[in-house]
Amino acid sequence: MEEYAKTLGYTVKITPYSAFYFGMPFGSEFGGEGWNFDYLVTVDAPITGDHTVLEYELRRLSQAGTSVFFAYTG
């Protein structure tokens, strides 16, 4: 999906989340089973623009049953 975002003119970093389990390194984010199907897309672009196409296309490409969240850092 990162390469596809480049074709739309965006630089993104995709972070998959997972449930917390015994043995994870100290400081790891804590989450339940529901986090196994969530992704954070960090976009290097200002939040003030219209990013509807990017969000639509990346959600369309994601697997069924997953949730995709967006964070803008520009």
Question: Cα separation of 71 and 46, whole Å?
Answer: 10
Residue 21: CB atoms within 10 Å: 7
pLDDT of residue 14: 95
Question: Cα separation of 13 and 34, whole Å?
Answer: 21
Higher-confidence residue of 12 and 1: namely 12
pLDDT digits (tens, 9 = 90+) for 4-59: 999 999 999 999 887 666 666 666 666 656 566 889 999 999 988 899 999 999 99
Q: Contact, 42 vs 13, CB < 8 A?
A: yes
| pTM, 2 dp | 0.77
